[in-house]
Amino acid sequence: MDRPSLDQQVTFLHTGDLEKTADFYQSVLGLPMVLDQGSCRIYQIGRDAFLGFCQHLETPPHPEGVILTLVSQDVDGWHDYLRQQGISIEKPPTLNQKFNIYHIFFRDPNGYLLEIQRFMDPAWPT
């Protein structure tokens, strides 16, 4: 039997402040909100990739171990843009030779660690 298709991807994360989170993801990162479910809001990252934040989910107060990675060819442009928006950069643009990526790290209002990276490996699908 062939495996059924998977058509889209949504990652849901907890937020204690839906409005502050919405402002960050819509105004700072410029992600369009595609669905407002009241206590959850879903944002489009790519054609078939989505990120949702829900206020009703329970999670530890410090979201350790979660890294939300967004892929862009313009890591330096994102670094400059985020700094202009007043976002504190935890790790400036850096080449990580172990994983063959170029990336930056910063945090969202919930404390989640965000990474914007460019894959240097030509095997990465574009």
CATH number for position 17: 3.10.180.10
The angle formed by the CA atoms of residues 9, 11 and 29, to the nearest 5 degrees, is: 100
Domain range for residue 118? 66-126
| Identity of the residue numbered 16 | G
| Identity of the residue numbered 118 | R
| Domain identity same for 39 and 71 | no
| Domain identity same for 75 and 124 | yes
| Domain identity same for 16 and 49 | yes
| Domain identity same for 86 and 106 | yes
Reported pTM = 0.88
Tally of structural domains, the chain? 2
| Domain identity same for 30 and 86 | no
Q: Note whether residue 17 is domain-resident.
A: yes
Angstrom distances, CA of residue 52 to CA of 3, 47, 90, 99, 121? 26, 15, 23, 27, 29
Residue 63 has pLDDT above 90, yes or no: no
What is the reported pLDDT for 120? 95
- Provide φ and ψ at 62, rounded to 5°: -120, 105
Q: Residue 84 — pLDDT band, cuts 50, 70, 90?
A: very high
